[in-house]
Amino acid sequence: MGFSVAVPDHPLLEVGAFVTRFDRPLAALGRQAAIAALTAPDAVALPLAPIAPDVLRLAVRDLLRAGGFKAAGRSKPASEYLVGALAEGRFPAINAAVDACNVVSLHSGLPISLVDLDRFEGAARIAVAPAGTTYAFNPSGQVIDASGLLVLWDAAGPTGTPVKDAQRTKTHDQTRATLAIVWGTSALPGRTAATTAWYRALVAAIPGAVVEDVHRTEQRMA
CB 133 within 8 Å of CB 156: no
Range of the domain at 59: 4-219
Closest CA to 117 of 18, 216, 196: 18
Q: Predicted confidence band at 201 (pLDDT cuts at 50, 70, 90)?
A: very high
Q: What is the pLDDT of residue 21?
A: 98
Q: What is the pLDDT of residue 47?
A: 86
Q: Mutual orientation of helices 53-65 and 78-87 as an angle, nearest 10°?
A: 150
Q: What is the pLDDT of residue 1?
A: 59
Q: What is the pLDDT of residue 221?
A: 59
Whether the per-residue pLDDT at 89 is higher than 90: the answer is no
Predicted TM-score (pTM) above 0.75:
yes
Task: Spell out the alpha helix ranges (H) of 88-139.
Answer: 96-108
What confidence tens digit (pLDDT) does each residue in 42-83 have?
888 878 988 999 999 999 999 999 999 998 888 999 999 999
Distances (CA, A) of 64 to 59, 115, 122, 144: 9, 20, 25, 15
What confidence tens digit (pLDDT) does each residue in 116-129 have?
999 999 999 999 99
What confidence tens digit (pLDDT) does each residue in 137-179 have?
999 999 999 999 999 999 999 999 999 999 999 999 999 999 9
Q: How many domains does the chain have?
A: 1
Q: Predicted confidence band at 222 (pLDDT cuts at 50, 70, 90)?
A: low
- Please work out, in degrees rounded to the nearest 5, the angle formed at the alpha carbon of residue 115 by the alpha carbons of 109 and 117: 145
As a 3-state breakdown, the chain gives helix, strand, coil percent values, each rounded to 5, of: 30, 25, 40
Side chain identity, residue 150? L
Q: Predicted confidence band at 218 (pLDDT cuts at 50, 70, 90)?
A: confident
Q: Which residue would you say has higher pLDDT here, 30 or 108?
A: 108
User: For the residues 202-217, what does the mean pLDDT come to?
Assistant: 96
Q: Using CA atoms, how far apart are residues 118 and 52, in angstroms rounded to an integer?
A: 38
Neighbours of 117 (CB within 10 A): 17
Whether the per-residue pLDDT at 212 is higher than 60: the answer is yes
Q: Provide the CATH number for the domain around residue 137.
A: 3.50.40.10
